[in-house]
Structure 1
């Protein structure tokens, strides 16, 4: 049954990423991939929160796997992050590519830590 949950959660996560990324990129109309950054940071927060629920509040492991791996795994995107960073570098926007990499990793880790802390405080 967990496989069905993973498939359903993944089927919701991927289009959610597409819609949120598109919504942000349309409104900013920039070369810089703000939409993917927001998607990855918010997904990191959610995964940290789910992990905190599991660690501190006996959240069901199967549900954490379904939501964490299924939804968060399909919602966040390492491949698009890598592609967009490489695209910026190929276009000669080295500083933007570097800033994008540092922000994605740094803010993503911070968001995961905040999610973990938020769940612990419940």
Structure 2
């Protein structure tokens, strides 16, 4: 890995994390429920985007370097499995069992579905 690629990866990761912070705040300010909608929406949109990027990289529409910077860097900083896990455990600790289980399973199922949809859209795009 070249120093320039490493720097681009680090900058993209920081931009992804900053984008997540902004979207999280916007969503939380508008939706006030027990369910962690902000984290859910961020992870679903990031999974969709990563599926699309992976398809483009597999189809040689996107270079390996850009795939690394955008996928691992930006989307790695944007999405957050650890926050989703923490929020599910916090809900368990608060005895909000249905919300916790919904958060865990909905995140898993919908994020994988979103990644598959992104892959499908990306393979259609790349021919």
Q: TM-score range by the shorter chain?
A: over 0.9
Q: Are positions 1:7 and 2:22 aligned together?
A: no
Q: Which residue of 1 aligns with 2:59?
A: 56
Q: Which residue of 2 aligns with 1:77?
A: 80
Q: Which residue of 2 aligns with 1:96?
A: 99
TM-score (normalised: structure 1): 0.96
Q: Distance in 2 between matches of 1:42 and 1:58?
A: 21
Aligned-residue Cα RMSD (Å) equals 0.8
Query: How many pairs are equivalent?
Result: 122
Q: Are positions 1:22 and 2:25 aligned together?
A: yes
Q: Are positions 1:110 and 2:113 aligned together?
A: yes
Stretches of structure 2 that go unaligned for 5 or more consecutive residues are: none
Q: Distance in 1 between matches of 2:59 and 2:33?
A: 41
- In the TM superposition, residue 52 of structure 1 has moved relative to its aligned partner by 0.5
TM-score (normalised: structure 2): 0.93
After superposition, the C-alpha distances for 1:17-75 in whole angstroms (9 at most, x for unaligned) are: 01111111110111211000000010001110000001124420011011100001010
